[in-house]
Amino acid sequence: MIHPIIRTENLQKNYKTGQSIAGIINNLHCCIYKSEFTVIMGSSGSGKSTLLYLLSGLENPTDGKIWFDTIPLHGRIEKKLALLRRNHIGFLFQDYNLVPSLTLTENILVSGYLIKKSRTQVRQRAKELMETLGIISLGDRLPSQVSGGEQQRCAIARAMINDPHVLMADEPTGNLNYAAAEKVLDCMVRLNKTGQSIIMVTHDMKSACRGDRVLFLRDGQLMDSIVFDETAVQEEREEILFTWLKARQW
The torsion defined by the Cα of 198, 202, 149 and 58, in degrees rounded to 10, comes to: -60
> What mean pLDDT comes out for the span 138-156?
97
- What are the helix (H) ranges across the chain? 48-56, 78-88, 104-113, 119-132, 148-160, 178-193, 205-208, 234-247
Partners of 30 in the β-ladder? 8
Beta strands across the sheet bearing 37-42 = 89-92, 166-170, 197-201, 37-42, 213-218, 221-227
**What DSSP character marks residue 203?**
S
Partners of 202 in the β-ladder? none
Burial class (CB in 10 A: 0-12, 13-18, 19+), 157: buried
Query: In the predicted model, what is the mean pLDDT of the chain?
Result: 94
In tens, the pLDDT along 91-146 reads 999 999 999 999 999 999 999 998 867 999 999 999 999 999 999 999 999 999 99
pLDDT of residue 116: 66
User: 3-class DSSP state for residue 2?
Assistant: coil
Partners of 200 in the β-ladder? 39, 169
Q: Do 147 and 70 meet the contact criterion of CB atoms below 8 Å apart? A: no
- What are the helix (H) ranges across 114-233? 119-132, 148-160, 178-193, 205-208
Judged against a pLDDT cut of 60, whether residue 182 lies above it is answered with yes
User: 3-class DSSP state for residue 102?
Assistant: coil
Judged against a pLDDT cut of 80, whether residue 2 lies above it is answered with no
Query: Which domains, from first to last, does the chain contain?
Result: 4-247 (3.40.50.300)
In tens, the pLDDT along 6-37 reads 999 999 999 988 788 889 999 999 999 999 99
Partners of 40 in the β-ladder? 201, 215
Judged against a pLDDT cut of 60, whether residue 1 lies above it is answered with no
In tens, the pLDDT along 222-234 reads 999 999 999 999 9
Judged against a pLDDT cut of 60, whether residue 197 lies above it is answered with yes
pLDDT of residue 82: 92
> What mean pLDDT comes out for the span 165-191?
95
Nearest-angstrom CA–CA distance, 78 and 101: 28
Residue 134 amino acid letter:
G
Share of the chain above pLDDT 70, in %: 99
Nearest-angstrom CA–CA distance, 166 and 199: 7
Nearest-angstrom CA–CA distance, 132 and 116: 24
Q: What are phi and psi of 14, to 5 degrees?
A: -115, 150
- Residue 250's pLDDT band, with cuts at 50, 70 and 90, is confident
> What mean pLDDT comes out for the span 189-196?
95
> What mean pLDDT comes out for the span 79-91?
93
**66, containing H or E segment:** strand 63-68
